[in-house]
Amino acid sequence: MSDTLDQIVIAGAGMAGLHAAEALRARGFEGRLTLVGEEPHRPYSRPPLSKEVLTGAGMDPASGDPGWLVGHRALRLREDEVIDALDLDLRLGTRAVGLDPVAREVGLIGPDGATSVPYDGLIVATGARARRPGTDLAGVHVLRTLDDAEAVRAAFDTAGHLVVVGAGFVGAEVAASARAVGMEVTLVEAETTPLTRVVDPAIGSVLTEMHRESGVDVRLGVGVTGYEGSDRVERVRLSDGSTVEASLVVVGIGVHLNTEWLRDSGVELLPDGAVRCDAYSATSVPNVYAVGDLADWPHPRYGGRIRLEHWTNASEQGEAAAHNLLAGEGRTAFTPVPYFWSDQYKRKIQLLGQGAPADRVAFVHGSPEDRKFVAFLGRGGMLTGVLGLRSTPRTMRYRHLLERPTTWDEALTAAGAGPTT
């Protein structure tokens, strides 16, 4: 381990930041470790926000506490005593606002005003925030944080008709959760199939039918042009000239990366705000690494650079960056098999690798009609992704094919489907 690192700062107290902190301690770092989090809550798990939190599943009725972080088991990344054992300088409710790489200081704004914290090593894990719609009407929400989820869940109790704008994974999960508690739901997506950036249309069409079979009014290929109402939302106006009545709206139209504070710091940012990293998750500034949603790095098996907004990537990259920050000359390139899952209508969707763009799709087990299958996705003659619906063991069985370059025909042979001719 490098003997020049006495003070390490992790900016961002989400999954990536917490895993980086744990990895640093596990690898023997005994110096001052500062973890900065903009939210007032201790690190928590985000995936349950659009599922268990909205439906109330898993809530501990014995807690008698309305606070989800206390009463909801699914949200707890770690018990308090486990976090306490890391001996962190924990700065909650505190935002990183600037980086001075010459003085090696991170500027902060917290409950006590503006201050700064010195560092020898820095891991940037400030993540992203939800892109907000252009309206101030009450009843229009985004869902990214615990506070967002609590607000939406409270609105579920009185709302009659929910309109979800955006059929990405978060929007789809919100729609499924709302149906689970009996709400009427309209799902609006500007693209012709859901999850266009994530999966091939052949898969997207299956997911569309899942929503419709569950009673969701799905509107595809139509955008939102406005939100109407007096003090709170009453209608959503669509680009085809129609309107949808709404007592509650949840908007999932992407994110803004929380990297504005790095401007003029010497850390190279890409046009979308992502932090440009090398294969080790290192930035253009010495001893500064970036992880999670905002990190963009080269991946040899996907033909260029990638950026992932996945729970598993946040944890794995946080650990990898911690290792590389301490390793000196013994750094290891970060080349994971991307993995993502979603739970909708009591069905688990899993994606290994990249699902889009793809020029080949093969259902190697099961069928779309049965809503139970494993599909291979490929590009340029190579296997690039494996997607499973209600097929967890079989899906995970093919992970090894994505850990190395695997041709399309090799993949089909491994699945017992035989090579193409």
Q: Average model confidence (pLDDT) for the chain?
A: 93
Indicate if the pLDDT at residue 420 is higher than 80.
no
What phi and psi, each to the nearest 5 degrees, are found at residue 84? -60, -35
For residues 75 and 214, the model is more confident at 214
Residue 187 and residue 211 in contact, taking contact as beta carbons nearer than 8 Å: yes
Q: What is the pLDDT of residues 135-182, one digit of tens each?
A: 999 999 999 999 999 999 999 988 789 999 999 999 999 999 999 999
The strand ranges marked E within 207-247 are 217-220, 224-229, 233-238, 243-245
- What is the C-alpha to C-alpha distance for residues 350 and 342, in angstroms, rounded to an integer? 7
d(CA 73, CA 2): 38
Q: How buried is 346 (Cβ within 10 angstroms: 0-12 exposed, 13-18 middle, 19+ buried)?
A: exposed
Asked if the model's pLDDT at residue 38 lies above 70, the reply is: yes
Specify the pLDDT at position 197: 80
Q: What is the pLDDT of residue 198?
A: 84
pLDDT per position as a tens digit, 292-310: 999 999 999 988 999 999 9
Tokens of 163: 């309109």
Q: Is the pLDDT of residue 288 over 50?
A: yes
- Report residue 59's pLDDT band, with 50, 70 and 90 as the boundaries: low
Which of 16, 98, 167 has the alpha carbon at shortest distance from 106? 98
- The DSSP 8-state label assigned to residue 357 in this structure reads S
pLDDT at 60: 56
The pLDDT of residue 58 is 61
Pairing of strands 95-100, 89-92: unpaired
Q: What is the dihedral of CA 167, 171, 176, 180, to 10 degrees?
A: -150
CB-CB neighbours of 60 under 10 Å: 11
Residue 367 has pLDDT above 60, yes or no: yes
Query: In the structure, what pLDDT confidence band is assigned to residue 1 with cuts at 50, 70 and 90?
Result: very low
Q: How confident is the model at residue 417 (pLDDT cuts 50, 70, 90)?
A: confident
Q: What are the chain's domains?
A: 7-43+78-129+256-330 (3.50.50.60), 132-253 (3.50.50.60), 346-414 (3.30.390.30)
pLDDT at position 303, please? 81
> Confidence band (pLDDT; 50, 70, 90) for 76?
confident
Give 33's strand partners. Answer: 8
Q: Which helix H or strand E contains 374, and what residues bound it?
A: strand 372-379
Q: Is the pLDDT of residue 71 over 70?
A: no
pLDDT value for 62: 53
pLDDT value for 19:
98
The pLDDT assigned to 351 comes to: 96
pTM: 0.94
Least confident of 50-64, 88-102, 324-338: 50-64
Write out pLDDT tens, residues 207-243: 999 999 999 999 999 999 999 999 999 999 999 999 9
Whether the per-residue pLDDT at 69 is higher than 60: the answer is no
| 93-126 per-position pLDDT tens digit | 999 999 999 999 999 999 999 999 999 999 999 9
Asked if residue 131 has pLDDT above 90, the reply is yes
